[in-house]
Amino acid sequence: MSQTAQTLLGMGAVFSIGTQSATPVFTAVNGVKKITPPKPKWGTEDTTTLNTLNATRTFIKTLMDPGEVSIEGEWQSADPGQLAMAAAFTAAPIAVYGQAYPFKMALPVDTVGGQTTTGDTFTFNALVTDWAMSDVEIDKAVTFSASIKVTGGVTIVDGA
């Protein structure tokens, strides 16, 4: 099948939180308006020595920090996904599986790019490190935001 590069809109993307089990069951977090994917970054170690040439520091890569995901959306007090996110935030650090929860971000199906049934998915384990509601104002929707610290790698599966 030939694939064509194109711009993909975010409409239809789904962000989900999974149960802490060997085979997680994912629940969509509804009301999400914005997902900021993780931005992995390598750590570095300074390897400059007294005899390094050109008076220029030298470095090596060390460990990768997989980054954080942030989400923002409209507060829906009875949404199972939002309730699961809040529970993951308040979970004690000694919880099952070390407090990390499985997450999945599924992009919309890229029909122009050759996908017909599923979009690209990104799965990872992470810690919910921040969970907050917005100010409550007379003429504004109540919103929420969350920060999710990725622990370990991100698995990317191309859509089909």
Residue 99 has a pLDDT of: 80
Closest CA to 19 of 63, 93, 83: 83
pTM of the complete model: 0.87
CATH 3.30.70 fits 14-39+62-157, yes or no: no
Residue 8 has a pLDDT of: 82
Q: How are beta strands 26-28 and 32-36 bridged, if at all? A: unpaired
In this predicted model, what pLDDT tens digit does every residue of 98-125 receive, in sequence order?
Answer: 689 999 999 999 888 888 999 999 999 9
Task: Give the residue-averaged pLDDT of 138-144.
Answer: 96
The structure tokens listed for 84 are 């699961």
DSSP run (H or E) holding 30: none
* Residue spans per domain, the chain: 14-39+62-157
H and E: helices and strands count for the chain: 1, 9
In this predicted model, what pLDDT tens digit does every residue of 41-74 receive, in sequence order?
Answer: 999 999 999 999 898 999 999 999 999 999 999 9
How many of the other CB atoms lie within 10 Å of CB of 95?
A: 14
The structure tokens listed for 29 are 């977090």
**Widest CA span of the chain, in angstroms?**
66
Phi, psi of 115 (to 5 degrees): -80, 145
